């Protein structure tokens, strides 16, 4: 055994040294390692030890609700069983414990279980061990990370959607909202109505994402939260659906008063007498004139300094970011000049109106944007609940009852309307608690069955006799590999709202701020957050062969096209749900020969240490359990042992086995 | 035979393949190999044997490129310039292309119904609207399906850009999926085994993986897994192929790179030329950054010039190498941009009318087909649908655009979407 271990170390070291860094980033990382006195191609120290304390606060799951959850799951099962009976199909076979532990980790934590997770679960004799594990995972930081990736794909989350939009606080806020398990309807309402700068009120990020594009904003918002595509009607009556261009404009009129530029002080307040209001307005105007003059001076000076190359272009973006702030004043929206239908004249003002239903009475006296948000997120607006119920169902079961999940319309009915309405009721009865909703679905027998093939082109609808077979998402694959490599996957988290705010605020409008003050603030900001410094730090502290070994949710986005995550289909964060799971040749080459596959053979990797801590007789089982979460069949075990024996060295044999398991379809597909 | 102007003639290629096959993969692949070569040796009547398809991601403004409106307020800061073709004007950033206008066929009267990016790209690439129940093949997949691969080791179809939302092979064989190259300067990465790993050991690993995976593969046999299974084979074939150097633009002289320009599209076009030269049937180059809702004239100054330099040089380079007579170059966009300049000095989405360009094999140079109205708002003469446009491409390649192909769900489809080829732009 000792010999095996010694060899393993030698081979692993050789592996690590010989895989020459091919990319510019890799070379930079190598340089960084050299400068820091670390030998190349070692795992970064930060990932070698498990974190001592919990990495984040996550709202706890109410164990007392378990009977309610289970009853809700049984209801879904009985609806499905009835559906199967009607269509003459049967559920696929129930998952074994080993299959369950892997699937549920991927589903809720976004990664495969560790060797210990798997062993603990397999060895447990508790009758409630599945429910216990579900609850435990739902309150883990891994759940937050995985759910963040899910929303990042939908909300197009990235650090710089435009040069002067600094989105780090918004990204952190989304993550925290998940950790706090905020009710979805309240969360969406806040996204649609938030005011201020992004580091003052990070929820403004949603409105800012489409800055300068108020009509596409309405289209995207309706598509994401109401599962309805009205985009065509922006330019003309919808060709296949009932939406008219006029209706699109009526809806858009509700949010057309949204402004994204910092506004001056407003003097008048409700309840003031006429005299008071007049005085307050005058005072505000004077203050605004003063502020305006100050800001203009700063901008003029900044432009001069940039022209003289005394300071870089980034200062302009810093200033613009400081002048970007969401606010709202009712404003008229006009039809386009080329409006060509008979129901109105071009350039006529449009009266605001919702697409269906009524604006809730509670919002009747409020401004257009408040009315829009109140209508959209209302319990009475059943399509809001239906859309998210269908979306979360698809997240877990792999296929929506309506597909695509953002294209509800008459010609595209649900495959099981009764179930969809039932799930909508469930969503409402849970008061939009998305985590609890998922807790119910993963507790169904239907979920805890083996995956079945889904052919989207088939004429027969998917019957949910088990979840659809899915390839891991790019993020699931990355985070799963991280399980095998890093003892600490949470060595780094993206900056918090507070840390960011402390550096990003330039106080441009505070009385007495000079250009020099702003330039200094910009320098301070740059120290921490300039792209170059930020990336250099990441590579220096967490880099291995040009890869930054932290959770996918914490990596900068969008990642460069050639990054492992992008190869495997991570979204460019430009199109809504742009993530894909289709096969390409570079993916396979990456798994064959890329640095990531080899990172787990390096001394100090989680897999390496796990194999080392066991008797050599157990090496094969440990490798199987670590990578595929099950023991090998007797036949595969003896074949693997044979293979190890006949390899040049036993370690080369183990290396071959690791490589082979990573390159199975079983590894990247979720059964 | 035109395709034999490659640095290896058919015979020496065959020998080279055989040598590589023996060295790395054993002789088991030989029968498949000879089939491939025989297929490639059959002369097809079409003139275009290769396609380079440049896709303007984000939607290219027609007014600022190939369809300017001199003297109109809508023209903004773009100045129309005279091209080599009398009476035909381009936007001022397209100087080189203006001097090459006798090689180009310009279609100025395309229009679609969709102003959404992804849907627009999908329609252009597949000729069919994006719907849920089926994924249609992109044109490149049809081309390789219809004309076969040229090189045995190299893929038939390469995409320089992001493979994520590309329709790829659609319902055709997953092997027709384009191989994405994310960064033209890096080419195809991870194609060599780590040095410590011998060929024998690599084969052992594969055998081991296949053995362990057999139950899973059997249980879930179907399209999802087949796509991976097939691409594993392609990846293995690629590794160790001498033709891989086609992906390495560092092998080009610096002055050649300089001519194409150090831009995404410049390097992409250079890579495309290398690949076509080495026997890749179809290359698509994605060129992003055209979604100019803000500051369209500033942006055009950058993107327009990059496009001009890249595609202009590509045409010259192909011509110098005698490849333009067998290579069709397509310049396509999702849709056009509004004639009206918006409050952010940008232009918004405008599917109402837009321009695309063809050049090279099978194409009538100097042709202009169709026209938009005086503002560039709607087609005014000879409106062209996306299906007509793509059927024209199919015709230029000699593909059977009238033939019905049946998808696995039984529905009939045509290459090019059942349009009418534009005779006036075909050679």
Classify each residue of A502-536 as buried b or exposed e, where b means 16 or more C-beta atoms within 10 Å of its C-beta.
ebbbbebbeeebebeebbebbeebbeebeeeebeb
What is the rounded CA–CA span in Å between residue A670 and residue B131? 26
Query: Does residue B294 belong to the interface with chain A, where contact is any CB pair within 8 Å?
Result: yes
Residue for token pair 């059943």: A382
Q: Which residues of B touch A590 (CB under 8 A)?
A: 189-190
Residues B244, B188 contacting (CB under 8 angstroms) = yes
How far is residue A73's CA from residue A441's CA, in Å, rounded to a whole number?
Answer: 6
Q: What is the DSSP letter of B284?
A: E
DSSP 8-state secondary structure symbol assigned to residue A106 = I
B217: Cβ contacts below 8 Å, ≥ 6 apart: A665, B225, B229
Distance, CA of A474 to CA of B148 (rounded, Å): 32
- β pairing state of B367-369 and B104-110: parallel
Which pLDDT score is estimated for B30? 33
Would the CB atoms of B116 and A583 count as touching at under 8 Å?
no
Check B351 against A235: CB less than 8 A apart.
Answer: yes
CB contact under 8 A, B205 and A338: no
Task: Note which residues in 231-270 of chain B have CB less than 8 A from chain A.
Answer: 231-232, 234-235, 238-239
Interface test with A, best of B130, B205, B230 (most A CBs within 10 A): B205
**Shortest Cα distance, chain B CAs vs residue A605, angstroms:** 19
Say if the Cβ atoms of B189 and A22 lie within 8 Å.
yes
* Nearest of A115, A147, A138 to residue A487 by alpha carbon: A115
Chain B window 65-104: which residues touch A at a Cβ cutoff of 8 Å? none
Position A646 scores a pLDDT of 87
Alpha carbon distances (Å) from B328 to A108, A339, B323: 49, 40, 9
B296 and B347 in contact (C-beta within 8 Å)?
yes
Determine whether the interchain pair A451/B132 forms a contact, defined as Cβ–Cβ distance below 8 Å: no
- Which residue in B204, B293, B409 is closest to A656 by CB distance? B204
pLDDT in tens, chain B (427 residues): 333 333 333 334 434 433 333 333 323 233 333 333 333 333 333 489 999 999 999 999 999 999 999 999 999 999 999 999 999 999 999 999 999 999 999 999 999 988 888 889 999 999 998 876 788 999 999 999 999 999 989 999 999 998 778 999 998 988 898 999 999 999 999 998 877 788 888 998 999 999 999 999 999 998 888 888 888 888 998 997 889 999 999 999 999 999 999 999 999 999 999 999 999 999 999 999 999 988 999 999 999 999 999 999 999 999 999 999 999 999 999 999 999 998 889 999 999 999 999 999 999 999 999 999 999 999 999 999 999 999 999 999 999 999 999 987 778 999 999 999 999 999 8
Facing B179 at nearest CB: one of A586, A590, A660: A586
Bridge partners for B69 per DSSP? none
Chain B closest-CA separation from residue A630 CA (Å): 12
Nearest to B224 by CA among A590, A583, A476: A583
B31 touches chain A (CB under 8 A): no
Provide, as residue numbers in chain B, all residues whose Cβ is less than 8 Å from the Cβ of A578.
Answer: 164-165
Min Cα distance B65 → chain A (Å) is: 23
Q: For tokens 């390899």, what's the residue?
A: A647
**How many Cα atoms occupy the beta-carbon half-sphere of A646 within 13 Å?**
11
User: Which of A338, A584, A640 lies closest to B179 in CB terms?
Assistant: A584
Subunit contact B217:A15, Cβ cutoff 8 A: no
Rounded-to-integer distance, Cα A526 and Cα A594, Å: 33
Q: Are B49 and B327 in contact (CB under 8 A)?
A: yes
* Angstroms from B170 CA to nearest CA on chain A: 11
B80 within 8 A of B90, measured Cβ to Cβ:
yes
The answer to whether A604 touches A43, Cβ cutoff 8 Å, is: yes
Q: Who contacts A329 (Cβ-Cβ below 8 Å, separation ≥6)? A: A257, A259, A367
Which two tokens mark A222? Answer: 């309706």
Q: How far B212 CA lies from chain A's nearest CA (Å)?
A: 7
Q: Please give the pLDDT value at position A239.
A: 62
User: Which residue of chain B comes nearest to A659, CA vs CA?
Assistant: B205
Testing the interface with B: which of A414, A457, A578, A585 to mutate, by most B Cβ within 10 A? A585
Candidate from B189, B195, B229 with C-beta closest to A589: B189
- Spatial separation of the C-alpha atoms in residues A623 and A625, rounded to whole Å: 6
Strand order in the sheet with B50-56: B179-181, B157-160, B282-287, B50-56, B327-333, B354-360, B104-110, B367-369
Provide the sign of the torsion angle of the four alpha carbons A44, A45, A49, A51, taken in this order: negative
- Write out residues 4-23 of B within 8 Å (CB-CB) of A: none
* Chain A contact present for B60, CB below 8 A: no
Query: Degrees (nearest 5) of the Cα angle B403, B404, B408?
Result: 145
The pTM for the full model equals 0.85
Q: To 5 degrees, how large is the angle CA A201–CA A204–CA A210?
A: 160
How close A636 comes to chain B (CA, Å)? 7
Which two tokens mark B86? 């009398």
Domains of chain B, start order:
44-191+240-425 (3.40.720.10)
- Note whether B349 contacts A404, CB cutoff 8 Å: no
- Going A491 to A494 to A496 to A501, the CA torsion angle's sign is positive
Burial (CB count <10 Å: 0-12, 13-18, 19+), residue A138: buried
Interface TM-score (ipTM) > 0.90: no
**Residues of B with CB below 8 A from A639's CB?**
208, 211
CB contact under 8 A, B208 and A239: no
Q: Does the beta carbon of B298 lie under 8 angstroms from any beta carbon of chain A?
A: no
Cβ of B164 and A456 within 8 Å?
A: no
Q: By the 8 A CB rule, do A220 and A573 touch?
A: no
pLDDT of residue A39: 33
Chain A interface, best mutation among B58, B208, B339, by max A CB count within 10 A:
B208
Q: Report the Cα B404 to chain-centroid distance in Å.
A: 23
Which structure tokens are listed for A20? 């020459």
Q: Which residue is it, tokens 């034999």?
A: B4
Q: Return the structure tokens found at B13.
A: 């290629």
The interface residues of chain B toward chain A in range 318-357, judged by CB-CB distance below 8 A, are 340, 344, 346, 349, 351-352
Report the residue of chain A nearest B233, measured CA to CA: A585
- List the one residue out of A571, A490, A520 whose CA is nearest residue A51: A490
Domain residue ranges of chain A, discontinuous segments joined by +: 2-58+474-670, 182-262+328-377, 274-324
pLDDT along chain A (671 residues), means of 10: 41 37 47 38 90 92 98 98 96 97 98 98 98 98 98 97 94 98 98 97 97 90 94 72 89 95 74 82 84 92 94 94 94 88 92 95 94 98 98 98 92 95 98 98 98 86 96 98 96 96 95 96 96 95 94 95 92 89 91 88 92 92 98 94 87 91 96 89
Predicted confidence at residue B17, as pLDDT, reads 39
């Amino acid at each position: 055994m000792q010999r095996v271990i010694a060899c393993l170390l030698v081979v692993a070291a050789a592996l690590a040294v010989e895989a020459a860094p091919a990319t510019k980033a890799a070379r930079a990382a190598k340089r960084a390692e050299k400068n820091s006195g670390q030998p190349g191609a070692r795992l970064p120290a930060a990932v070698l030890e498990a974190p001592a304390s919990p990495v984040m606060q996550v709202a706890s799951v109410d164990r007392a609700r378990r009977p309610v959850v289970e009853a809700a799951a049984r209801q879904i099962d009985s609806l499905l069983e009835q559906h199967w009976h009607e269509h003459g199909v049967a559920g696929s076979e129930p998952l074994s414990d080993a299959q369950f532990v892997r699937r549920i980790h991927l589903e809720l934590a976004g990664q495969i279980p560790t060797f210990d997770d798997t062993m603990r679960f397999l060895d447990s004799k508790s009758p409630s061990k599945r429910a216990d594990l579900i609850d435990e995972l739902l309150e883990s930081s891994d759940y937050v990370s995985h759910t963040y990736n899910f929303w990042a794909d939908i909300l197009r989350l990235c650090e710089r959607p435009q040069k002067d939009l600094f989105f780090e606080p918004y990204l952190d806020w989304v993550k925290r909202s998940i950790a706090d398990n905020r009710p979805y309807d309240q969360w969406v309402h806040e996204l649609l109505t938030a005011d201020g700068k992004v580091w003052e009120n990070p929820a403004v990020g949603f409105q800012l994402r489409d800055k300068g594009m108020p009509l596409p904003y309405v289209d995207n918002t309706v598509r994401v939260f109401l599962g309805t595509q009205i985009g065509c009607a922006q330019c003309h009556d919808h060709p296949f659906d009932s939406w008219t261009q006029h209706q699109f404009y009526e809806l858009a009129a509700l949010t057309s008063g949204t402004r994204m530029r910092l506004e001056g002080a407003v003097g008048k307040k409700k309840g003031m007498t006429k005299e008071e209001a007049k005085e307050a307005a005058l005072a505000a105007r004077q203050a605004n004139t003063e502020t305006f003059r100050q800001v203009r001076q700063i901008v003029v000076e900044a432009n001069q300094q940039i022209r003289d190359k005394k300071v870089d272009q980034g200062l302009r973006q810093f200033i613009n970011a400081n002048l970007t702030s969401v606010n709202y004043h009712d404003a008229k929206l006009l039809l386009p000049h080329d409006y060509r239908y008979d129901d109105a004249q071009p350039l006529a003002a449009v009266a605001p109106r919702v697409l269906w239903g009524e604006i809730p009475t509670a919002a009747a006296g409020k401004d257009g944007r408040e009315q829009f948000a109140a209508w959209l997120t209302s319990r009475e607006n059943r399509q809001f609940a239906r859309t998210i119920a269908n979306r979360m169902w698809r997240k877990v079961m792999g296929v929506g009852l309506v597909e695509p999940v953002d294209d509800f319309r008459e010609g595209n009915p649900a495959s099981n309307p009764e179930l969809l309405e039932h799930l909508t009721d469930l969503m409402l009865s849970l008061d939009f608690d998305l985590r609890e909703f998922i807790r119910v679905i993963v507790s169904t027998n239907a979920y805890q069955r083996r995956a079945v093939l889904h052919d989207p082109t088939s004429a027969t609808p998917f019957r949910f006799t088990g979840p659809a077979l899915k390839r891991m998402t790019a993020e699931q694959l990355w985070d799963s590999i991280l399980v095998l490599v890093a003892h600490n996957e949470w060595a780094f988290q993206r900056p918090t709202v507070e840390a960011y705010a402390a550096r990003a605020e330039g106080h441009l409008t505070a009385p007495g701020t000079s250009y020099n003050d702003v330039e200094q603030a910009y320098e301070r900001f740059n120290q921490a957050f300039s792209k170059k410094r930020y990336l250099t730090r990441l590579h220096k502290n967490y880099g291995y062969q040009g890869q930054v070994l932290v959770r996918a949710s914490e990596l900068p986005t969008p990642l460069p096209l050639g990054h492992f995550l992008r190869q495997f289909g991570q979204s460019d964060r430009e199109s809504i749900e742009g993530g894909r799971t289709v096969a390409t040749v570079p993916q396979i080459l990456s798994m064959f020969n890329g640095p990531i596959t080899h990172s787990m053979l390096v001394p100090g990797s989680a897999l390496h240490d796990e194999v080392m801590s066991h008797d050599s007789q157990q090496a094969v089982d440990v490798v199987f359990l670590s990578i595929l979460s099950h023991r090998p069949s007797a036949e595969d075990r003896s074949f693997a042992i044979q293979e190890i024996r006949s390899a040049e060295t036993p370690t080369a044999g183990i290396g071959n086995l690791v490589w082979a398991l990573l390159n199975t379809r079983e590894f990247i597909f979720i059964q | 035979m035109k395709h034999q102007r490659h640095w290896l003639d058919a015979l020496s290629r065959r020998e080279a393949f055989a040598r590589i096959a023996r060295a790395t993969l054993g002789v088991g692949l030989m029968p498949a190999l000879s089939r491939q070569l025989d297929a490639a040796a059959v002369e097809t009547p079409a003139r275009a044997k290769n396609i380079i398809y440049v896709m303007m991601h984000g939607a290219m403004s027609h007014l600022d490129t190939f369809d300017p409106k001199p003297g109109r307020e809508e023209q903004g800061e773009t100045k129309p310039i005279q091209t080599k073709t009398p009476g035909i004007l381009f936007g001022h950033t397209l100087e080189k292309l203006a001097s090459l206008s006798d090689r180009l066929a310009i279609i100025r009267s395309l229009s679609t119904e969709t102003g959404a990016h992804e849907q627009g790209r999908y329609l252009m690439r597949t000729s069919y609207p994006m719907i849920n129940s089926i994924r249609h093949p992109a044109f490149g997949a049809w081309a390789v399906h219809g004309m076969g691969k040229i090189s045995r080791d190299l893929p038939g179809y390469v995409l320089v850009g992001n493979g994520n939302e590309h329709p790829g092979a659609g319902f055709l064989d997953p092997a027709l999926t384009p191989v994405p190259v994310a960064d033209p300067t890096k080419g195809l990465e991870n194609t060599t085994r780590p040095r410590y790993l011998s060929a024998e050991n690599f084969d052992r690993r594969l055998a081991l993986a296949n053995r362990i995976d057999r139950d899973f593969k059997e249980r879930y046999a179907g399209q999802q897994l087949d796509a991976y299974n097939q691409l594993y084979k392609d990846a293995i074939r690629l590794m160790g192929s001498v033709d891989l150097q086609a992906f390495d633009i560092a092998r080009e002289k610096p002055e050649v790179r300089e001519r194409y320009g150090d831009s995404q599209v410049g390097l992409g076009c250079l890579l495309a030329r290398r690949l076509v030269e080495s026997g890749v049937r179809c290359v698509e180059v994605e060129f992003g950054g055209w979604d100019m809702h803000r500051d369209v004239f500033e942006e055009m100054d950058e993107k327009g010039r990059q496009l001009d330099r890249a595609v202009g040089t590509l045409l010259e380079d192909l011509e110098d190498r005698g490849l333009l007579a067998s290579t069709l170059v397509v310049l396509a966009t999702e849709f056009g941009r509004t004639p009206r300049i918006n409050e952010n000095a940008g232009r918004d989405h405008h599917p109402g009318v837009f321009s695309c360009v063809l050049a090279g094999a099978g194409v009538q140079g100097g042709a202009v087909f169709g026209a938009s109205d005086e503002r560039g708002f709607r087609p005014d003469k000879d409106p062209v649908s996306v299906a007509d446009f793509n059927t024209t491409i199919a015709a230029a390649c000699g593909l059977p655009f009238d033939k019905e192909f049946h998808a696995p769900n039984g529905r009939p489809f045509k290459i090019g979407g059942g349009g009418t080829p534009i005779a006036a732009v075909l050679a």
